[in-house]
Structure 1
Amino acid sequence: MRRIVPVLTLFLAACASETPAPVVTPAAVPAKGSHGHGRLIGLSISDLGEVFGSPAFQVREGPGLKLQYRGGGCVLDAYLYPPEKGQGVERVTHIDARLASGADTDAVACEAAIEAGR
């Protein structure tokens, strides 16, 4: 019995050990003009114009600006906001893509479809 207690104690200690927290590394910001999800992030209004032409719809929402592009059966919304310091050009901080039916779709595929139809 005396031998079981130390072995049991070690076994329980091993089971109760904490697992280290996973290391989280920030995602790399894609370079302007690179291909892949989020390539529009950081672009200005004039940059978007070079990529897609004129927006089909534009609306100011508080401090931000929403530009909407349509083509290839999808709709892409780009949300632009001024820098946090308040000075400088508005830049894309978020994008949403959906099919004409309203169902979510891949943003990269939608970007390509709109560019191809231009």
Structure 2
Amino acid sequence: MKPVAAFLLLAPLAACATDTAGTQTARPVLAPIPQAGLQTVMGQDAAALVRGFGTPDADVREGTARKLQFSSAICIMDAYLYPAKTGAEPRVTWVDTRQRDGSAIDRASCVAALSRRTGGK
């Protein structure tokens, strides 16, 4: 009698089981969402940054990597440039921004502020 009772208790749980081996749900392809204003920086080379923001406040080179720093009365932006392959022109792959006191600021807002700076500061 006990095996029958166990079967009766487990039978409803068996209805919950599903076979997922044959059916797979396609995952949507996730594309990065560009942040408005960053298109003037991301993927650009050093010459384009200088044209857009003027002379950098700092230009640091380490191997094939390069960091250009631009500042305004509102914020500071560090643009990191790396070559995609050996011998290629380094391009911006990452941007860090901060307010002058070190607190956080939206990257696109800082790019906009730097674009409007006059006299380099």
Q: Which residue of 1 aligns with 2:89?
A: 89
User: Aligned equivalents of 1:21 and 1:72: distance in 2?
Assistant: 49
Deviations 1:40-97 (A, max 9, x none): 111011110111011011111232111000013200000111222x122111111000
Q: Which has the larger radius of gyration?
A: 2
Question: Residue type of the partner of 1:6?
Answer: A
User: Aligned equivalents of 2:53 and 2:42: distance in 1?
Assistant: 14
Question: Do the aligned partners of 2:38 and 2:111 also contact (CA within 8 Å) in 1?
Answer: no
- Match status 1:23 vs 2:28: yes
TM-score w.r.t. length of structure 2: 0.73
State how 1:36-75 maps to structure 2 within 5 Å. 36=36, 38-39=38-39, 40-75=41-76
Question: Residue type of the partner of 1:89?
Answer: E
Identity, % of aligned pairs? Answer: 31
User: Aligned equivalents of 1:96 and 1:5: distance in 2?
Assistant: 57
User: Aligned equivalents of 1:56 and 1:36: distance in 2?
Assistant: 24
Paired residue secondary structure (1:6) = helix
Give the 3 Å change call, closer, same or farther, for CA 52–10 of structure 1 in structure 2. Answer: same
Paired residue secondary structure (1:65) = strand
Paired residue secondary structure (1:89) = coil
User: Aligned equivalents of 1:83 and 1:9: distance in 2?
Assistant: 54
Q: Which residue of 1 aligns with 2:12?
A: 7
C-alpha deviation, 1:4, in angstroms: 5.9
Listed as ranges, the gaps of 5+ residues in structure 2 are none
Question: Residue type of the partner of 2:93?
Answer: T
**CA RMSD, Structure 1 to Structure 2 (Å):** 2.9
Question: Do the aligned partners of 1:72 and 1:110 also contact (CA within 8 Å) in 2?
Answer: no
C-alpha deviation, 1:36, in angstroms: 1.2
